[in-house]
Amino acid sequence: MDSNSKRLHPKLRMLANGSESVNAQRATISQCVASQLEPGSVAKTVQGGIAIATQRAFAAGTVNGLSLRLEEPPAKRQKLDKAGVATKAFVNVFVETQQSDLGAENPTKAVEAALRKIAARVTDDEAGKVGHAVLSRRNFVSATLPIAALEEVASMPGVSFVHSCEAITFNLPEADTSKVNPPTARSVKVGGKRHDGDGVIIGIIDVGGFDYAHPDFRDAQGKTRFISIWDQGGDSRDPPQPFGYGSEISKARLDNAIALGNANNLPPTDIERQSQSSPGSHATHVTSIAAGNRGVCPAAEIAAVLVSIPVPEGDRDARRWTFADSSRIVHAIEYLLKLSETRGKPISINISLGTNGGPHDGSNGPCRWIDAALNHPGRAICVAAGNAGQQRGETTDDLGWVMGRIHTSGRVPSRGLDMDLDWVVVGDGFADVSENELEIWYGAQDRMTVSIQPPGSTEWYTVAPREFMENQPLKNGTYLSVYNELYHPTNGDNYISVYLSPNLEPDSFAPIAPGTWKVRLHGDEIRDGSFHAWIERDDPQEVGRHRNYAAYRFPSFFSETTNVDSHSIGSLGCAHRVVAVGNADDRSGIINITSSQGPTRDNRNKPEIAAPGTRIVAACGFDSERQWTSMTGTSMSSPYVCGVIGLMLAAKRGLYAAQCLGILRRTARPLPSHDYEWRNDAGYGVLNPAEAIREATAFDERTERKTR
């Protein structure tokens, strides 16, 4: 391995090692890779036309996969130098730069310029779909790059590390279909005076479409309170600059659609369309809680970003083009901050989406980018803690725990001893065709060797520190990559990345071998011995059928004995300056069991706060029959806090995100029978809006004391 590779995140190394055809196939199942090639179109050596056409159709979800050959051994993989590196597949990265010496020139600008040059090689046609934005903040540059250029980027002077992006998870609450009464207004009064958020912007980053014409978002003149929507997956209007992808819909256009809708008796959202408009939309519900007319900030302006979902309705082929990873959230934040700046108003942003990968200590690219962006008055971001709190089913048909078993931790007690982890990939009717990733983190003072045993096998594949195994075919058809790395450049900790990839060769496509994969940690040198591991998972989603198998992107999970029920908070929520919000069931006076737990891996207390998130009634988007619907999840809690921060910013424009956090901690009320101690699900307690505003208004009033 050449030395530059060490500056690439292992996941990027694994991708860079895949051929063009493999990455084209990967793009159809991965949220973090996009490709312009149809799967199979570069593999000229495979036998017969039917197989390729079938693979392609299967990957696009249009055939049931009956003709895919599952039982035959995988064909020999072409060597990468013959097959060709992936120039037509793209990945999002955060490039971290390092100033060589005090006083030396900051390399960020130079790296940014160099990345722009690489991005410029991307043709216009490709750029229109994947975007080619190169943005920088502090010592980070975010870019969309051809996978083939990764090595080149890693070797640039000034580049210290190339971070990968994490997939956004879409384990989102669904609208309840039963009839509900309209919500009572979430009005916040302090000393009898209603606070309404006038003068602030509420920014919402979400999925499902924004029903800007819903009565909950209309002002007294019947116009919408949305000032702008960036539809990242849309193409009906011009994209915003400098991002260069998606479609930006201005307030004038939204209002024009409302007027035309009235004139033509048509729903306005069908006239000025977004790429998603699902009935009972998540985004609409979330926005309604924070900033609807019956929400917390009824007088705030609303700015919105619609993040692409991996499978656009009715067009599964478009999946190849779609990124749904943390870079898109970072771009969304930058877009909203720019709006706040140009309008001269403070902004409170809500993100009811999450990601699982990374070190869970706030040191990954997106977290540090967000922290850097929040180092400015009048900005705050709330993130839903996640709904991965559940570790076993409450009833026999409750599969929520599958989403919950994503974390394990423990200690290798001393040198020479082993710790075994059970990592379960679902079989029996499912064929998991997506990639499964496991990241293990341990202290810099220890050395551990990792061994992997495939299900039903007696063989162990062992990788010691500073060794790696890249895309090695196993007998069961799965490809195994393991990287045992020391001293991660951003936090100094040691980490082991394990990737199970399906066979993505177009002529011998095969799912990941189902069953329990054993992961053994062996203590080579132990001073502390503690470790954490997270599964970066997919959301369950059927992508086709494969003989008797439903081909699934399916979350792998830890066995019940391996799973450790803590640290399940999403990785975005681990950023230092964001507010991570848990889900309180205020009617029962408890925390909802699905609410993800903290703390972070570096033992910071997250989530900080809980807010009502159980059976919350708010606007039901894109539904001609129902105006209101009820949903449950941290997705509903987070916008409540976002709205209250909006009120705090309206009261005190100059608040910093860190101060908002402090005020929320200080004013939170413990749940019944809890004390003021931080708890891993409720944080410091339940949000207390009036007290938080009072505190925000008064905290910087100073009284001078004199001796006499």
> Both tokens of residue 262?
């009235």
Pick 113 or 260: Cβ nearer other proteins: 260
Contact between 61 and 126 (Cβ < 8 Å): no
Determine if 397 is a binding residue for other proteins (CB under 8 A). yes
204, 172, 535: which is closest to 351 by C-alpha? 204
Determine if 71 is a binding residue for other proteins (CB under 8 A). no
Site for other proteins in 176-235 (CB under 8 A): 177, 235
Compose the 533-572 pattern: x for residues touching other proteins by CB under 8 A, - for all others: ---------------x-x--------x-------------
Binding segment for other proteins among 63-71, 118-126, 566-574, 662-670 (CB under 8 A)?
63-71
The answer for residues whose C-beta is within 8 angstroms of residue 458's C-beta and 6 or more apart is none
The answer for residues whose C-beta is within 8 angstroms of residue 255's C-beta and 6 or more apart is 223, 224
Alpha-carbon distance of 246 to 230, in angstroms, equals 7
Q: What is the dihedral of CA 129, 84, 158, 446, to 10 degrees?
A: 110
Binding segment for other proteins among 295-303, 382-390, 428-436, 678-686 (CB under 8 A)?
428-436
The least distance separating other proteins from the CB of residue 259, rounded to whole angstroms, comes to 8
660: part of which helix (H) or strand (E)? Answer: helix 657-667
The least distance separating other proteins from the CB of residue 302, rounded to whole angstroms, comes to 21
Compose the 252-271 pattern: x for residues touching other proteins by CB under 8 A, - for all others: -x--xx--x---xxxx--xx
Site for other proteins in 667-686 (CB under 8 A): none
**Is 334 in a helix, a strand, or coil?**
helix
Determine if 518 is a binding residue for other proteins (CB under 8 A). no
Determine if 626 is a binding residue for other proteins (CB under 8 A). no
Beta-bridge mates of residue 520: 420, 451
The least distance separating other proteins from the CB of residue 43, rounded to whole angstroms, comes to 16
How many other C-beta atoms lie within 10 A of the C-beta of residue 66?
Answer: 11
Q: Residue 658 — φ and ψ, nearest 5°?
A: -65, -35
Among 64, 155, 453, 566, binds other proteins (CB under 8 A): 64
Q: Is the peptide bond before 599 cis (omega within 30 degrees of 0)?
A: yes
Determine if 47 is a binding residue for other proteins (CB under 8 A). no
Alpha-carbon distance of 440 to 149, in angstroms, equals 27
Pick 264 or 603: Cβ nearer other proteins: 264
Among 138, 218, 273, 674, binds other proteins (CB under 8 A): 273
Pick 223 or 694: Cβ nearer other proteins: 223
First to last CA, the chain: 74
Q: What is the DSSP string of 141-165?
A: EEEEEEGGGHHHHHTSTTEEEEEE-
How many other C-beta atoms lie within 10 A of the C-beta of residue 396?
Answer: 6
Binding segment for other proteins among 25-33, 52-60, 302-310, 343-351 (CB under 8 A)?
52-60
Pick 550 or 690: Cβ nearer other proteins: 550
Compose the 310-339 pattern: x for residues touching other proteins by CB under 8 A, - for all others: ----x-------------------------
Determine if 53 is a binding residue for other proteins (CB under 8 A). yes
Alpha-carbon distance of 90 to 106, in angstroms, equals 27
Determine if 429 is a binding residue for other proteins (CB under 8 A). yes
- Residues binding other proteins (CB under 8 A): 50, 53-54, 57, 62-64, 66-67, 177, 235-237, 253, 256-257, 260, 264-267, 270-273, 314, 393, 396-399, 402, 424, 426, 428-430, 516, 548, 550, 559, 624
